[in-house]
Amino acid sequence: MAGHSQFKNIMYRKGAQDKKRAKLFSRLTKEIAVAAKMGPDPDANPRLRAAISAARAANMPKDNIERVLKKVAGGDDDTIYEEIRYEGYGPGGVAIIVEAMTDNRNRTVSEVRTAFSKLGGSLGETNSVAFMFDRVGAIAFDVSVAGADEVFEAAVEAGADNVESGEEQHEITCAPEDFSAVRDALAERYGDPREAGLVWRPQTTVPVGEEDAETLLRLMDQLDDNDDVQQVAANFEIADDLMARLTA
């Protein structure tokens, strides 16, 4: 498992599918609500457009999306969410970035700090590890949408920086400021992407051996299970055979 995969490096997940689905829907609901408060029209609000696109890609029921939008539009959602970034180190010197969306900063920082301290890590100051990552827009489409050459040409034309095509998907990356334009251009051509968002991509990765790997994965899981956490990024790399043993 390489820590630098655009999407999987930031979200190592396991467990029951229904639990993962509920957690994902909770994250998407928060993002839609926060984005909708910045403007109710998706055509004029790129963040809301992206949030709705992500919800559709995750197969969130249309009724769920409309319910959130109506609640915000009607003034029934008075929850104020604060977006916070935490940074620190995990076992083996792995750099970790945690992005949270919370209505209670004290609760969230306490829970995140506890997870780090109990599982061989330490929470640092803002920007203590962010310099090891690049902030990029990342968009993924199933390989079935088109061939690698066609997707590459379409992505470059839309303003993307890079395309990597694998057995299951095409992964397109771009500068954060170009994300909305690139995503919209490709979505118009191929439909909603399977995943799309701004992610932290590590510039280099840290190999993690058996001594630290199990504890590191437990830390990633605990952070990911936190209801306030939206995204976890890390710069680790674990050998495939070791990962297979740990997740068997």
Q: Are residues 26 and 68 in the same domain?
A: yes
Sign, Cα dihedral of 29, 31, 32, 34: positive
Q: Rounded distance, CA 169 to CA 222, Å?
A: 28
Length of the chain: 248
* Alpha carbons 138 and 182: distance in angstroms, whole number: 10
Give yes or no: residues 97 and 165 share one domain. Answer: no
Same domain, 108 and 48: yes
In 193-213, which positions are buried (b, 16+ CB within 10 angstroms) versus exposed (e)? bbbbbebbbbeebbebeeebb
Structural domain of 168: 133-201
79 by Cβ neighbours in 10 Å (0-12 / 13-18 / 19+) ranks as: exposed
Check whether residue 39 and residue 158 sit in a common domain: no
Q: How far apart are CA 226 and CA 46, in angstroms?
A: 27
One domain, residues 176 and 102: no
Could you tell me if 9 and 82 lie in one domain?
yes
For residues 148 and 244, membership in a common domain is answered with no
Whether residues 120 and 228 fall in one domain: yes
Q: Is residue 15 located within the same domain as residue 128?
A: yes
Task: Give pLDDT tens digits along the chain (248 positions).
Answer: 444 444 544 444 444 456 678 888 999 999 999 999 999 999 899 899 989 988 988 889 999 999 999 999 888 778 889 999 999 999 999 999 999 999 999 999 999 999 999 999 999 999 999 999 999 999 999 999 999 999 999 999 999 999 999 999 999 999 999 999 999 999 999 998 988 989 999 999 999 999 899 999 999 999 999 999 999 999 999 998 998 888 77
Question: Do 195 and 166 have their domain in common?
Answer: yes
Q: Residue 209 belongs to a domain with what CATH number?
A: 3.30.70.980
78 and 120 assigned to the same domain: yes
Q: Which two tokens stand for residue 99?
A: 């992005």
Give, to the nearest 10 degrees, the angle between helix 148-158 and helix 179-190: 140
On whether both 123 and 226 belong to a single domain, the answer is yes
Indicate the number of domains in the chain.
2
